[in-house]
Amino acid sequence: MSYKSHSHAQWSSRMAFVLAAVGSSVGLGNIWKFPYMTGESGGGAFVLVYLICIFLVGLPMLMSEWLLGRLGQKNPISTMGDITRRLKRSRAWVLIGVAGILGAYLILSFYSVIGGWALAYIQMAVVDTFSELNNDSVGTLFGNLLASPVELLLWHSLFMIMTIGVVVGGVAGGLERAAKTLMPALAVLLVLLVGYAATTGAFAEGAAYLFTPDFSKITRDGILAALGHAFFTLSLGMGIMMAYGSYLSDDVNIGRSALIVVVMDTVIALLAGLAIFPIVFANGLDAAAGPGLIFQTLPLAFGNMAGGWLFGLLFFVLLVFAAWTSAISLLEPLVEWIEERSPLSRVGSTIVAGLATWALGLATVLSFNVWGDFAPLGMFDKFAGMTLFDLLDYVTSKLLLPLTGLATVLFVGWFMGRDELRSQLNMSDGAFALWRVAVRFIAPIGVVIVFISSL
């Protein structure tokens, strides 16, 4: 693809690219995962570490993935294959692409189950379940959903069908167009929720919880969690952003586009936190409630607001949308790989990839009920009490994402020539030098230190 400069087409495709990247990055990670991890890891200190990781590691890393993709112009495995061949580097770097496909598969298997929770809450909003809720029953409502494998399975299946449907039908264009209005709508709704949170009387407490770092409360594992989440929320370390970069024309400014994506992603996460914690404190709920946090707090707020059922409905619809656009990007790498490696058509590959993901999702579905006490690695202290869902989350966010991320920045920082990189990044010399320091030193050293100290 190439665009004439100053034409309208160029602007709109640059927009489309940034939107697609925002669609992938803004998802359950921002609204579901970020608040509950903050609550589990003690608040402000976690948020500060997370912000540092986002800007010092995530941003330079996002730029690295995009420029690799733009140089290679193929799927992540072939891209790494081509670039290593051309630069006469070890073929082992191709493992970055392999780890990416595996990681995206593992993530989507549980991501879809959580997307299913959001679908279930749409239904609850429609039948106006929220208006009678109190502090206790909001927990029971969520508990009942988790306790029913059949219900979880149905919603997980529906979410997978929606994801497969888009990837098969190639209606991504339509979805992208929808995302153009729905993503801003989500932001507006979050701002409204923050407005509501301001009326609960605990807004200052909630804001202080998020923004006043108390370093006695953060553990080494919390720091690793912040790092892993920086990768998760920006869709890094899985070759996905690399694949997006492969469709990128040469005149798009990678640095500026990356900054837009990172800022939008961060703002959405912080808004979610500002909406949720005041409600938690005002109602005497538990900030460390874990993965159920937003599902056990926001319905209370909707129940108390005038017209709350409508806001509730809108919120969960938009949440599903954000999750959907991310899920599509998670299914894509596996589909692409099956399509290239097998005689299957695009449709066949998508169905096989989707079914395989759906099947692994059963492990997560059962983790919340029948297999709730099943800790496969329980014999190791570190994994005591962790269900299959916990392990999937741990292995992807705390191992695979940081390790493939580390490999990517090492490759870009130390195994590629300065001039080649310079030609990809049309930014000022100062900004380029800064980026290179981040990629060569800050990001790799940071990841290694966090990693070693948490083991």
> Is 240 an interacting residue with respect to ligand TRP (CB under 6 A)?
yes
> Is 325 an interacting residue with respect to ligand TRP (CB under 6 A)?
no
Which of 315, 364, 441 lies closest to 152 in space, CA to CA? Answer: 364
Spatial contact of 232 and 32, defined as CB atoms under 8 Å apart: no
> Is 29 an interacting residue with respect to ligand TRP (CB under 6 A)?
yes
Residue with Cβ nearer ligand TRP (233 or 349): 233
> Is 330 an interacting residue with respect to ligand TRP (CB under 6 A)?
yes
- Which of 233, 387, 404, 408 touches ligand TRP by CB under 6 A? 233
Spatial contact of 224 and 454, defined as CB atoms under 8 Å apart: yes
- Which of 23, 27, 139, 299 touches ligand TRP by CB under 6 A? 27
* Cβ within 8 Å of residue 446, ≥6 positions away: 53, 56, 57, 227
Q: Which amino acid is residue 318, in one-letter code?
A: L
Residue with Cβ nearer ligand TRP (100 or 139): 100
**Which segment (26-34, 154-162, 296-304, 421-429) binds ligand TRP by CB under 6 A?**
26-34
Q: Cα(336)–Cα(67) distance, rounded to whole angstroms?
A: 20
Assigned token pair, 282:
């005002």
Angle subtended by helix axes 59-72 and 254-282, to nearest 10: 140
> Is 238 an interacting residue with respect to ligand TRP (CB under 6 A)?
yes
Assigned token pair, 430:
């100062």
Q: Cα(278)–Cα(46) distance, rounded to whole angstroms?
A: 17
CB of 20 to ligand TRP, least distance (A): 11
> Is 28 an interacting residue with respect to ligand TRP (CB under 6 A)?
yes
- Which of 17, 21, 25, 142 touches ligand TRP by CB under 6 A? 25
Which of 269, 271, 270, 281 lies closest to 204 in space, CA to CA? Answer: 281
> Is 266 an interacting residue with respect to ligand TRP (CB under 6 A)?
no
Assigned token pair, 141:
């409502």
* Cβ within 8 Å of residue 178, ≥6 positions away: 321
> Is 22 an interacting residue with respect to ligand TRP (CB under 6 A)?
no
CB of 267 to ligand TRP, least distance (A): 13
Classify residue 432 by burial, with Cβ atoms within 10 Å: 0-12, 13-18, 19+.
middle
CB of 172 to ligand TRP, least distance (A): 14
Question: Which element (helix H / strand E) includes 147?
Answer: helix 135-147
* Cβ within 8 Å of residue 118, ≥6 positions away: 28, 32, 316, 319, 320, 323
Give the CA distances from residue 432 to residues 71, 170, 195, in Å, rounded to whole numbers and listed in that order. 18, 37, 40
CB of 342 to ligand TRP, least distance (A): 23
- Which of 235, 357, 364, 387 touches ligand TRP by CB under 6 A? 235
**Which segment (24-32, 48-56, 190-198, 299-307) binds ligand TRP by CB under 6 A?**
24-32
- Which of 21, 71, 80, 107 touches ligand TRP by CB under 6 A? 107
Look at the alpha carbons of 111, 247, 185, 231 in this order and tell me if their dihedral is positive or negative: positive
> Is 84 an interacting residue with respect to ligand TRP (CB under 6 A)?
no
CB of 112 to ligand TRP, least distance (A): 11
> Is 64 an interacting residue with respect to ligand TRP (CB under 6 A)?
no
Spatial contact of 299 and 124, defined as CB atoms under 8 Å apart: yes
Residue with Cβ nearer ligand TRP (329 or 367): 329
Give the CA distances from residue 265 to residues 59, 185, 276, 369, 383, in Å, rounded to whole numbers and listed in that order. 11, 14, 17, 32, 30
**Which segment (147-155, 235-243, 355-363, 374-382) binds ligand TRP by CB under 6 A?**
235-243
- Which of 75, 326, 357, 367 touches ligand TRP by CB under 6 A? 326
**Which segment (66-74, 91-99, 209-217, 324-332) binds ligand TRP by CB under 6 A?**
324-332
**Which segment (78-86, 149-157, 164-172, 233-241) binds ligand TRP by CB under 6 A?**
233-241
Q: How many residues contact ligand TRP, by CB under 6 A? A: 16
- Which of 64, 79, 329, 357 touches ligand TRP by CB under 6 A? 329
Q: Where are the beta strands (DSSP E) in 157-247?
A: none
- Which of 22, 30, 40, 313 touches ligand TRP by CB under 6 A? 30
Spatial contact of 69 and 248, defined as CB atoms under 8 Å apart: yes
**Which segment (218-226, 229-237, 245-253, 341-349) binds ligand TRP by CB under 6 A?**
229-237
Q: Write out the residues near ligand TRP by the rule CB under 6 A.
A: 24-25, 27-30, 104, 107, 232-233, 235, 238, 240, 326, 329-330
